[in-house]
Amino acid sequence: MPPSSASMLGRAWTALVPDHVFDFWAERVSPTWSRRRPLARIVGREDTAADTVTLVLAGNRHVRRPAPGQHVMVGAEVDGRRVARSYSPSLLPGGRLAITVKAVPGGRLSEHLVHHARVGDVLTIGEPFGSLTLPDDAAPVLLLAGGSGITPLIALLRDQALRDRGARGSTRPITLAYWVRTPGEACFVEELRALADAHPALRVHIATTRATDPRFAHGRLDADTLATLAGEGAAPHVLACGSAGFVAHARALAEPRAASFQAEAFSPPDALPGETGEAEVRLARSGTTLRVPRNQPLLVALEAAGLRPAHGCRMGICNTCACGKSAGTTRDVLTGARDPEPATALRLCISAAAGDLVLDL
């Protein structure tokens, strides 16, 4: 059949059979068959640490392979509702992905994946996003991980290990410092130590902040610990990932003396210390005017008012919640920086009202 005829037939088939009808019948042949939707089947499951599981995923042809350190939105149906959250996959041979999930109290998706998801279940996988990457130069690197913040950083280390193997070794100094509350919460301990044994330029420091264990150091990130980790040589590139509080603390300690500083937080703080009062927010498209606390991210404040703005990662990376601002000053809840510029875009999940605003919502 001539290509033009095949193309016309394909378009006619698509028009006659809507996507949801095609998917309905296709999933009866294979659960990940879909005309357009990126889907992945759980093909492996391993308990990694306390209340933490690693799931191995085999995606269909629509799933885009992320770069090391990037995130994807992972979705599942929980109690009849579709729930999605951001996770940082590790890249496995054969095109497979692995996500490590810690059950968060009250977290609908994380508790489902840790306690109820089984091999054979199908998840939705969003487009990759995020830019937490190792710089290209040869300067030393310091990786700071708090809790589940280890997942994008170990993805970077695995990728670097593969590159080193291809280049017959690397002398670029990389130090990973990883804090957990208790020994049982530490993930990838044996793998991290094996990587350090195989790559002399890699140092691994694992510490607990509550219960002690002779295998690990004990104590929180502070100025003295940071100075020891950074050493006396060239200023390192610093990459930090963890809770909002951990990232803010790491930023305050490390950014002034770093060659560069990159960070990702699981989610911004729900309330900002030292901020009081309210601001008036006018939603231009809906005509709604409301008052919101100046100490909350706009996304949290709008949700508390009964609105449901589009959102994704809730950590300022995926841009799903981005909207236009035509008047007013906002404050970045992660860095504290103020943006008084009109006619600009903001991300609701990491922006708070520093005064009255007009938003394109």
Let me know the angle formed at the C-alpha of 332 by 331 and 338, rounded to the nearest 5 degrees: 40
Q: Please state whether 13 falls in left (phi above 0), alpha (psi between -120 and 50) or beta.
A: alpha
* DSSP conformation letters of 230-283: H-SSSPPEEEEEE-HHHHHHHHHHHGGG-SEEEEEESS--SS-TT--SEEEEEE
Query: Can you name the residues that pair with 161 across neighbouring β-strands?
Result: none
DSSP run (H or E) holding 48: strand 39-49
117: confidence class by pLDDT, cuts 50, 70, 90:
very high
Return the sign of the alpha-carbon dihedral for residues 146, 82, 314, 308: negative
* pLDDT of 138: 83
* pLDDT of 260: 94
Average pLDDT of the residues in 179-205 = 93
Nearest to 98 by CA among 32, 53, 135: 53
Q: Express each pLDDT in 211-238 by its tens digit.
A: 899 999 999 999 999 999 998 888 999 9
Strand order of the β-sheet with 338-339 is: 338-339, 330-332, 351-353
Tell me the C-alpha distance between 117 and 185, whole Å.
Answer: 20
Dihedral angle over CA of 299, 84, 247, 260, nearest 10: -100
Higher-confidence position of 171 and 244: 244
Nearest to 125 by CA among 56, 81, 67, 62: 62
* pLDDT of 237: 95
For residue 1, the tally of other CB atoms under 10 A from its CB is 8
Strand order of the β-sheet with 357-359 is: 288-293, 278-283, 357-359, 322-327, 344-347
Does the pLDDT of residue 167 top 60, yes or no? no
Q: Express each pLDDT in 267-317 by its tens digit.
A: 766 667 667 899 999 999 999 999 999 989 999 999 999 998 988 888 888
Dihedrals φ, ψ of 125, to 5°? -130, 125
Task: Say if residues 226 and 275 touch (Cβ distance below 8 Å).
Answer: no
Does the pLDDT of residue 1 top 50, yes or no? no
Does the pLDDT of residue 76 top 90, yes or no? yes
212 CB-contact burial (10 Å; exposed 0-12 / middle 13-18 / buried 19+): middle
Q: Please state whether 196 falls in left (phi above 0), alpha (psi between -120 and 50) or beta.
A: alpha
Does the pLDDT of residue 246 top 90, yes or no? yes
* DSSP conformation letters of 4-27: HHHHHHHHHHHHHS-HHHHHHHHT
User: pTM of this prediction?
Assistant: 0.77
- What one-letter code names the amino acid at 356? D
97: confidence class by pLDDT, cuts 50, 70, 90:
very high
Tell me the C-alpha distance between 107 and 112, whole Å.
Answer: 8
* DSSP conformation letters of 176-240: EEEEESSGGG--SHHHHHHHHHH-TTEEEEEEESSS--TTSEES---HHHHHHHH-SSSPPEEEE
277 CB-contact burial (10 Å; exposed 0-12 / middle 13-18 / buried 19+): exposed
Dihedrals φ, ψ of 39, to 5°? -130, 150
Q: What is the mean pLDDT of the chain?
A: 87
* pLDDT of 342: 81
266: its two tokens = 């699981």
Q: Express each pLDDT in 118-158 by its tens digit.
A: 999 999 998 888 878 888 888 899 999 999 999 999 999 98
Average pLDDT of the residues in 79-91 = 88
Task: Say if residues 141 and 237 touch (Cβ distance below 8 Å).
Answer: yes
